[in-house]
Chain A
Amino acid sequence: MSAVRERNSSAWLLPPRPGVDHGLRKDMRRFEDQDEVDIAIVGCGAGGSTMLQRLARAGWTAVGFDAGPFWDPERDWVSDEAGSHHLYWTEPRVIDGTDPVPLGSNNSGRGVGGSMVHFAGYTPRFHPSDFHTFTADGVGADWPIGYSDLRSFYEDIEEELPVAGEAWPWGDPHKYTYRPHPVSGNGEIFLRGAFASGITAKVGPVAIANGRFGNRPHCIYRGFCLQGCKVNAKASPLITHIPDALAHGAEVRADSMVTRIGFDERTGKATGVHYVRAGVERFQRARIVAVAGYSIETPRLLLNSANARFPEGMCNDFDQVGRYLMVQGAPQTAGRFAAEVRMYKAPPPEVSTEQFYETDPSKPYKRGFSIQTVSPLPITWAEHVMAQGHWGAELRRYMSDYPHWACLGALCEFLPLAENRVSLSEEKDRHGLPVAKFSYSQCENDQQLLKAAQSVMERILTAAGAEETMTVKRYAHLVGGARMAADEHHGVVDSSCRSFAIPNLYITDGSVLPTQGSANPALTIMALAARTAAILVKGD
Chain B
Amino acid sequence: MSLPLSPRDGGERYPGFSSVDESDHWDRATQGAVLVRLGLPPDIRFFTAREEAVARALFDQLLDQHSDPRVPVVNMVDSRLAEAETDGWRYADLPEDGQAWRETLAALDQDATERHGQGFPEVTLDQQASLLRAVQDLGYAKWHGMTAARVWSLWTRYACTAFYSHPWAWDEIGFPGPAYPRGYKNLGLDRLEPFEVRDARPAQDPAANAGGDG
Interface residue ranges, A against B (CB under 8 Å): 18, 74-83, 85, 88-96, 100, 102-105, 108, 182-185, 188-189, 220-224, 230-231, 336-342, 344-346, 377-379, 381-383, 386, 389, 391-404, 437, 467-468, 470
Contacts and interface: CB of A to CB of B under 8 A. Distances in A.
Given A82-B162, A342-B174, 7 more contacts: A76-B29, A94-B92, A222-B180, A379-B160, A396-B64, A400-B10, A401-B10
Contacts of A78: 27, 29-30, 32-34, 178
Contacts of B170: 378
Contacts of A184: 184, 187-188
19 contacts: A75-B29, A76-B29, A82-B162, A90-B87, A95-B89, A103-B88, A105-B88, A224-B178, A224-B180, A338-B202, A338-B203, A340-B192, A340-B198, A383-B157, A392-B62, A401-B204, A401-B205, A402-B173, A403-B173
B78 interface: no
Given A76-B29, A222-B184, A404-B202, A188 B88 contact: no
A90 B199 contact: no
Main secondary structure of the interface of A (DSSP, over half): loop
Interface stretch (B39-47, B102-110, B112-120, B206-214): B206-214
A403 B189 contact: no
A346 to B, nearest CB: 5
Contacts of A85: 85
Interface in B79-134: 85-92, 96, 129, 132
Given A184-B188, A185-B191, A382-B163, A224 B203 contact: no
B175 interface: yes
B164 A224 contact: no
Contacts of B204: 400-401
Given A397-B9, A400-B10, A401-B205, A104 B189 contact: no
Contacts, number: 230
B9, B198, B203, most chain A CB atoms within 10 A = B9
B62 A391 contact: yes
B52 interface: no
A104 B206 CA distance: 31
Given A382-B163, A404-B202, A230 B85 contact: no
Contacts of A398: 10, 206-207
B179 interface: yes
A93 B206 contact: no
B196 to A, nearest CB: 7
B183 interface: yes
Contacts of A79: 26-27, 30, 177-180
